[in-house]
Amino acid sequence: MRVAHVYQFILRIFKETFSSPFETEETLNQCYLQGNRTLLLIGFTSFLAGIVFTRQSRPSLIEFGAESWLPSLVSIAIVRGLGPLITALICSGKLGSSMGAELSSMKVTEQIDAMEASGTNPFKYLVVTRVIATTVMVPVLVIYADAVALMGSYVAVHYYSQTTFKLFFTQAFQALSFLDIFSSIIKPVFFGFAIGVVSTYAGYNAPRATVGVGKSANRSVVISMVCVFIIDFLAVQIFGSLRP
């Protein structure tokens, strides 16, 4: 990927997003497809992550006589970092590969050229709708993942210490601040935008050869995951400096 080409690609996305005609129906369709593709996988992974993280944290807290802090510790870890990161990585693998492969196969079979010949704007229909969908759906999926992971944590805590549902979630939410919730929603917006841009760029600019489909899908996943970690690192530094 050339930096200049990516910069022009992003500028074109913003330009096409706010210019008519708007592909509202296709955008909603992409939101549904992306959520449907990842919902079960994110739910299953988040539930297990909540159980595993709770199980691993409990012995250390018991050594310090602070087992009662377990709901607070788990909620902070899940909302601040674990939930958004798990969701973004799953979306990078699942959505990134599918978008990269889909657009590159359309490029190879000259379907994009056919859309241009018929007077349709393929960039707006294929790229902009998918970028908007990932930008919107990844934060929604993060909220879902956080809730499911906390439920998994509650199951583990209840199994070991018979903590009630009300007590667990009271302690869990008392430990969270507005900044934690805000960062948990803002980070995924950038995660989703990066995944959408990288995947659509790799697919839309794929070489006109069959091997380009595999390369585009692989490039979408790898670069999307790297971008997710970079954005997460920057977000940790920024929001960490805002905490008292």
Task: Report the pLDDT value the prediction gives residue 212, as an integer from 0 to 100.
Answer: 67
Task: Report the pLDDT value the prediction gives residue 152, as an integer from 0 to 100.
Answer: 92
Which distant-in-sequence residues (6+ apart) come within 8 Å of 90 by Cβ? 38, 41, 42, 45
Its pTM stands at 0.89
Asked if 185 and 84 count as a contact pair (C-beta separation under 8 A), the reply is: no
Domain ranges of the chain: 3-15+28-61+70-239
Task: Give me 205's structure tokens.
Answer: 């600019």
Residues in the chain with pLDDT values less than 70? 1, 209-212, 244
Task: Report the pLDDT value the prediction gives residue 207, as an integer from 0 to 100.
Answer: 74
Task: Report the pLDDT value the prediction gives residue 209, as an integer from 0 to 100.
Answer: 67
